[in-house]
Structure 1
């Protein structure tokens, strides 16, 4: 295999406008393109982080809820690397986004915490320093 990187992550949301607002206006992802697919009654929003395409945000009518707790098989969470976790937590709280307490990874000794997107998808902050 000659994989170079993860190209993107696809997320299906229950409320397109709420999730678009969360990822774009609260978290600061950049919109690359937005497409409405009339035949599927579905939006596809391509989002970038620091100029690199990373997320496809989809809306599908009547998509079933994603099981999170207890933890289910499949994608567990998305982790976002930050330089200063306390500053990022402060900025999230300013946007009305609650986080768990900051913890220390027992193996890497790096600090991390979790928060959720509007549909309960776990998102992790992982401090790089």
Structure 2
């Protein structure tokens, strides 16, 4: 295995989640298709070296999303300036937790949530 190709997310409100990841997070749309046989939209978003796939389904089941629940804990995005990104999210009405420092790497990070409560992280990695 070399790297991650995609992360798939099922949304409770497809239009709201697509707007969040496209307009607020800033991920460009690669393609968007209607899958009639599943009554489901699928939107592929460019996340750098990977893609995020957003899916809609008629009645998705809820899933625990607490940080310590079994399964995916959170999805982290590398950013260059955490202060700029936190301010941008705040201006868009997306609250972030206080910025913390990773004890092992010295990098700054924070958490926020997508429209369905999925924990997301900003992880600052300054340009070399």
SS in 1 for 2:78: strand
Aligned ranges 1:68-107 → 2 under 5 Å: 68-69=65-66, 71-107=68-104
Following superposition, the deviation at residue 65 of structure 1 comes to 1.4
Q: Could you say which residue in structure 1 is the equivalent of 2:21?
A: 23
* TM-score (normalised: structure 1): 0.93
Matches within 5 A, 1:1-129: 3-50=1-48, 52-69=49-66, 71-129=68-126
How far residue 70 of structure 1 moved from its aligned partner, in angstroms, is 6.1
Distance 1:48 1:125 in 2: 17
Is the partner of 2:109 in helix, strand or coil? strand
Residue ranges of structure 2 left out of the alignment (5+ in a row): none
The alignment yields a C-alpha RMSD, in angstroms, of 1.2
How many angstroms apart in 1 are the aligned matches of 2:3 and 2:83? 28
Q: How many residues align?
A: 126
CA offsets 1:8-58 (integer angstroms, 9 cap, x no match)? 1001100000000100111111011101111111000000034x5511100
Distance in 1 (alpha carbons) for counterparts of 2:89 and 2:63: 23
* Structure 2 CA distance for aligned equivalents of residues 106 and 29 of structure 1: 29
User: Cα deviation per residue 1:65-120 (whole Å; 9 max; x = unaligned)?
Assistant: 12022621111100001111011000111111100000011111111000000000
Is the 8 Å Cα contact of residues 13 and 119 (structure 1) preserved in structure 2? yes
4+ residue runs of structure 1 moved beyond 4 angstroms? none
